[in-house]
Amino acid sequence: MSAEAADPGAPLRRRSRPRIDLRRLGRVALRGPVSRDRLPDAISHVAEAHRAHHPDADLTILRRAYVLAESSHRGQMRKSGEPYITHPLAVTLILAELGAETTTLTASLLHDTVEDTEVTLDQVKEQFGDEVCYLVDGVTKLEKVDYGAAAEPETFRKMLVATGNDVRVMSIKLADRLHNMRTLGVMRPEKQARIAKVTRDVLIPLAERLGVQALKTELEDLVFAILHPEEYEETRALIAAAKSPDALLETIAENVTHTLRDAGISAEVLIRPRHFVSVHRVRRKRGELRGTDFGRLLVLVGEDADCYAVLGELHTCFTPVISEFKDFIAAPKFNLYQSLHTAVVGPEGAVAEVLIRTHRMHKVAEAGVVALGNPYAQDPAAPPQTEPSDERADPTRPGWLSRLLDWQESATDPDTFWTTLRDDLAQDREITVFRTDGGTLGLPAGASCVDAAYAQYGDRAHTAIGARVNGRLATLSTVLSDGDTVQPLLAQDTASGPSPDWLDHARTPAARIAITGWFSDHPDEAKPDPETVGSASSGAQSEPSSEREAPGAAAPARGRSGPRPTGVVVDDPNAQVRLAGCCTPVPPDELTGFVVRGGAVTVHRRECPAVTAMQEIGRAPVAARWADGEGRESDAGCRVTLVAESFGRPRLLADLTEAIATADAAIVSATVEPPSEQRVRHTYTLRLPDAAGLPGLMRAMRDVAGVYDVSRAQHPAPAG
């Protein structure tokens, strides 16, 4: 086991580089600045690590940044007793080893100067330019305010806002937290636990999502040691007790090397030790650990095609464990990670996990967005911009981060922001679904059509009535899979609102915050209306709804519309009048109304089973009639629910919807029940420009081949 894996406090470094003594660097720093013609000794390790990734880098700006940082922090000490300059030096070294470019390292050296010294942003901008100033400003707390319990949420909110325009801000923040975690031993135990929990809940998931695995794994081990000291010591003892944990892996690695050499594939085969938390997870999953459980094989090749060539040779010459195969090259993870995962059986039945990737994939897997350099560097081959823009288009910013920035502006309450942030970061997998216009939506695994509607339409999704998934009607609660094509369907009635049930299906913060915000703005709609969602009275019997849902069918519109002209007159001229959704009366139906919560009157067809049900529970009817003697609604037209009974056949749904459209009727909602004995029931809620067109519409639907009956919606009365 390497020292890297055995000691979670070990810094990130190449195996050949000796451990850096920060106390010695502190003593060097105390000597003050050196002559302008050479690099200060204190940052020689940073320069060495930086040149390893960027051989042609200009180190002059690093020297100037160090001189300013050292002189500004001179006299300040960390709680560990070291000069404060050792902290920005250590943070910068972490980023240098990950391959960060010069601008990021310069900002890292200066990241605490504006907050903790007399250096101003204007000075930073004057001496180092706009880019460095922007990064320093992004990681600086703009004001020292005691937020109390909201301190951490507010700090990370600012970090996210700054990150919205430059992911390098978050990279510096992660490296800053890693060094603070390494030196956390000088803090009181209760403060160690608090910082470790915040790191576990927010920083580690952020590191995972940015793809910076090198930081994530060390943070995990440091948090593990603080929050679970007993399990940590047990894991340490297991690793120490395994005298030669790499022996079996070395044998398999040699066999793999010979196999690939014989196949003419140039590859580097390495043993990659697991870190503490990884070993602990494997132990919990499998119980007793095997020799090969302490590490994995890593095969590095030159080109993408070589990855699949290696996979073919391994699966041909070894016994593969098919259930362990995953292709993250064809379908990269949400954090830019690419690799082939497999497992093969070696000598004595030992199973070895194998990772196959190119050298560039490995660099991105370790350093994530840090390895991609400056995302805003001007491409010499690109045409110059004709107009300056204040917006930065960040090609490295993953979709999840864009969504995070969108909803954080809506979550004004720190507690809501904090809770939603942790819930969103807990989603460890992302799916991609396609829009019918060719665009894509990035959503967390488990997202539903509700999430897709809000991701595509924003607040307009309040009027969603269903969706088409892969061309088929589906309920809004339908869970989406990676690669699905989704088309949210919106009602024409823009006054509609969401249903409280949607919160049970929403997985994205954007959807949940939008739905919750709508109900906050409409407190009277916070609970479903008894008449519109099926309850005949408070806690009594239920009034059935004509818009029944079925698996794979479009969800009916559950939101309530605001008052609109109905063309109905009741005894109380000041009462709001609603047409019941269960029977959707249209002229010249005979009407009966009932007073519901809020004083509104819901009007039913007189033969509606709900009328009998309400009379049985003592609800007094209210006289209602169509206005102006002709029974016509206002210019908004009329709504009606029709049920079409048919035999199943291809294109039946398309032919029915075409017949409806030809009759100038608009589909408000539609459901299709699962076929039963080759028979299918379709339920449509339609809006017609005039009730006089209803008979013609029903005839047109009956003329569709396979349809044997079309009727107004009727439901049996609820059992007493």
Which residues are catalytically annotated? 115-116
Q: Give the helix/strand (H/E) hosting 362.
A: helix 359-367
d(CA 230, CA 346) in angstroms, rounded, equals 33
Q: Give the helix/strand (H/E) hosting 652.
A: helix 652-662
Pair of tokens at residue 468: 């088409």
Yes or no: say if 424 and 404 are a contact pair by the CB < 8 Å rule: yes
Percentages helix, strand, coil for the chain, rounded to the nearest 5? 45, 15, 40
Task: Give the list of residues 6+ apart from residue 669 with CB closer than 8 angstroms, or none.
Answer: 465, 466, 491, 547, 554, 555, 556, 557, 684, 685
Read off φ and ψ for residue 646, nearest 5 degrees.
-150, 165
Yes or no: say if 307 and 329 are a contact pair by the CB < 8 Å rule: yes
Strands 340-345 and 568-570: unpaired
Q: How far is CA 547 from the centre of its chain?
A: 32
Per DSSP, the three-state class of 444 is strand
Q: Which residues pair with 467 in a beta bridge?
A: 474, 488
Cα-trace Rg, the chain: 33
Read off φ and ψ for residue 102, nearest 5 degrees.
-60, -40
Amino acid at 155: T
Yes or no: say if 302 and 358 are a contact pair by the CB < 8 Å rule: yes
Strands 601-605 and 638-647: unpaired
- Beta strand segments in 364-494, E: 430-435, 440-444, 464-469, 472-474, 485-490
Dmax over CA atoms of the chain, in Å, equals 99
Yes or no: say if 604 and 594 are a contact pair by the CB < 8 Å rule: yes
Tokens 């300056």, located at residue: 388
Yes or no: say if 669 and 547 are a contact pair by the CB < 8 Å rule: yes
Rounded to 5°, angle at Cα 603 from 602 and 606 = 140
